[in-house]
Amino acid sequence: MNMWNVRMRAARKIENKQAEVHISGAETICERKDIDRTASGFIHRALTHPRGWPDRIIVTIEQLYEPPLLIPMLPVRTADTSDPEQALQMVLDTLLRLDVSRKAAVNAMKVLTGKRQMRGAAIIDASSGKRCEPDSLRGVRVSRLGVDANARSSLARMLSRRGINTETVREALTLASKVAAHPSIIAEVCMSDDPDYTTGYVAAPSVGYLRIPNMKLMGSSHGGRVFFLKPGADVEKMIEYLERKAVLMEIRNPQPRT
- Residues near ligand PML (CB under 6 A): 168-169, 172, 190, 192, 194, 197, 199-201, 211
Would you say 76 or 181 has its CB closer to ligand PML? 76
Q: How far is the CB of 128 from ligand PML (least distance, A)?
A: 27
Q: Cβ of residue 234: shortest distance to ligand PML, in angstroms?
A: 26
Q: Is 1 exposed, middle or buried (0-12, 13-18, 19+ CB in 10 A)?
A: exposed
Which residue's CB is nearer to ligand PML, number 63 or number 82?
A: 82
CB of 212 to ligand PML, least distance (A): 8
The residue (of 4 and 209) whose beta carbon lies closer to ligand PML is 209
CB closer to ligand PML, 4 vs 201: 201
Closest distance between ligand PML and the C-beta of residue 131, in Å? 21
Nearer to ligand PML, 6 or 121 (CB): 121
Of all residues in the shown chain, the one whose CB is closest to ligand PML is: 192
Longest CA–CA separation in the chain, Å: 53
Name the residue among 149, 153, 176 with its Cα closest to residue 76.
Answer: 176
Minimum CB separation of residue 40 from ligand PML in Å reads 21
Residue 180 or 190: the one with the smaller Cβ distance to ligand PML is 190
Min dist CB 79 to ligand PML, Å, is: 11
DSSP the chain: ---EEEEEEEEEEPTTSS-EEEEEEEEEEE-GGGHHHHHHHHHHHHHT-TT---SEEEEEEEE-SSPPEEEEPPPEEE----SHHHHHHHHHHHHHHTT--HHHHHHHHHHHHSSSPPSSBEEEETTT--B--S-TTT-B---SEEE-GGGHHHHHHHHHHTT--SHHHHHHHHHHHHHHTSTTEEEEEEE---TT---EEEEETTTEEEEETTSS-TT----EEEEEEPTT--HHHHHHHHHH--EEEE--SPPP--
Smallest gap, in angstroms, from Cβ of residue 175 to ligand PML?
7
Cβ closer to ligand PML: 4 or 197?
Answer: 197
CA angle (120, 109, 201) in 5-degree steps: 70
